[in-house]
Structure 1
Amino acid sequence: MLIGGVDEAGRGSILGPLVVAGVSVRQSRLTNLKEMGVRDSKLLTPTARARLVDEIKSVADHYHVHAIDTAEIDSSVLLKGLNRLEAKAMAHVITRIRADEVYVDCCDTNPGRYRDHIASHLEECPKIHSMHHADRINVAVSAASILAKVTRDSEIQKLKKKHRNIGSGYPSDEKTMLFIRNWVARKKCAPVFARKSWKPMRLLLEGLEQRARV
């Protein structure tokens, strides 16, 4: 029996992609994940996460990583459909990890509703457990969270090599927001790798339009 776990990284970021990852592991091998130190990616150092990626892939029967770019995120946010977009991405990943039973980290306040959103995109639906904080509770989801986080961090590192001081990519990071403010001031537009639908960016762009009309 294959047990699957699916999680995301970068949902709240203002820069870069939202990454959804999934793994499926034979039930008998779940203890291997625990023994190698797999847990919620947020509780691990970058070095530990990087080390664990190859180990997770060696134990997993299947794994898949899917990145959602900023344009698709913005389109969904404008329609108030970010949760639905993430559910669709999770369904895409689930079809590729071929699990008999899947645990997903739920971003919706209603886990049952989120499970139904995922199932609506699946022709053949395994048993889905939609749970809050699943990355802390279920080791397969923890493994998926590591793959998602490492992939997301790699994308941010690519942006840093090209644009330097972009910070973590999150709006709570002053370095990130300073980078964005300077970009908008200089280029009179948002970076293509930024989410224009996020409130801090909307406010900057609205201020730009108001100044242009004066």
Structure 2
Amino acid sequence: MVIAGVIIDEKIEGMLKEVGVKDSKILSREKREKLFEIISEFAEAYIVNKAYPNEIDSSNLNELTYSKVIQIIYASLPLHPKIVTIDKVGNEDIVIMKIRELGLKDNVVFNADVKYIEASAASIIAKVTRDRIIDSLKKIYGDFGSGYPSDPKTRKWIIEIYEKDKNNPPPIIRRTWKTLLKIAPNYYISKG
């Protein structure tokens, strides 16, 4: 999982909208790559944080996400942000409390990556970073598709590697995926 934060000056918000910065999910990979370069050039800074499969397997996903977001907020403090915009996905009370403790204004809303340019920019940075990580992992592990459990290519890849070795899953697999119970049961572990 890749999470990003982008610090932008209000003066460039219009330009970022004009060049097409919007929620990464509705952009082609080629467009995201171009926008990544523009964002990285004009933003005050961007911060990327990652959660690895073993972290996700041993943690509550929401709590892990909140922890990674708080780390990004702390990393941004030297640049004196005033407002912290976050795409709300669950109960972010811990993040909101931390933002307020730090004397910042919180803007935690559903679909922030659609509604706010800073969240759109962060979604692009995160998605491009994830795409690049996936590309580098494919050089090692072969073409496993998107890496999402809903991807048929990913499931096919897991089945193929499981047939070769039922006891040693590659470290890139989230072992708590329920999908594994059906297609690679020896790889599955419960979060307990």
1:105 corresponds to which residue? 87
Distance 2:135 2:88 in 1: 27
Following superposition of structure 1 onto structure 2, how do residues 41-56 of structure 1 map, counting pairs within 5 Å? 41-56=24-39
Q: 2:16 aligns with which of 27, 33, 47?
A: 33
1:162 corresponds to which residue? 140
Distance 1:151 1:36 in 2: 20
Q: 1:117 aligns with which of 94, 115, 118?
A: 94
Distance 1:65 1:72 in 2: 16
Percent identity reads 36
Following superposition of structure 1 onto structure 2, how do residues 140-151 of structure 1 map, counting pairs within 5 Å? 140-151=118-129
Amino acid in structure 1 at the alignment position of 2:150: S
Partner-residue secondary structure (3-state), 1:57:
helix
Following superposition of structure 1 onto structure 2, how do residues 85-104 of structure 1 map, counting pairs within 5 Å? 85-98=64-77, 99-104=81-86
2:171 corresponds to which residue? 192
Distance 1:121 1:208 in 2: 37
**TM-score between both structures, scaled by the size of structure 1:** 0.79
Deviations along 1:57-109, one digit per CA (max 9) or x if unpaired, are 22211210011110001001xxxx2111101101111122232101101121x
**TM-score between both structures, scaled by the size of structure 2:** 0.88
**Compared CA separation, residues 118 and 208, structure 1 to 2 (3 A):** closer
The answer to whether 1:137 aligns with 2:120 is no
Q: 1:206 aligns with which of 178, 182, 185?
A: 185
The answer to whether 1:64 aligns with 2:41 is no
Contact 2:158 2:184 (C-alpha < 8 Å) held by counterparts = no
Partner-residue secondary structure (3-state), 2:6:
strand
Distance 1:23 1:208 in 2: 36
Unaligned residue ranges in structure 2 (runs of 5+): none
Regions of 4+ moved over 3 Å? 119-123, 202-209
Quote how far apart the aligned CAs of 1:186 are: 1.2
Deviations along 1:123-143, one digit per CA (max 9) or x if unpaired, are 625212111111111111000
Deviations along 1:172-208, one digit per CA (max 9) or x if unpaired, are 1111101111112211132210000110124445367
Bigger strand fraction? 1
> How many residues matched?
183
Report 1 or 2 for greater relative contact order, CA contacts < 8 Å, sequence distance ≥ 6: 1
Unaligned residue ranges in structure 1 (runs of 5+): 1-17, 210-214
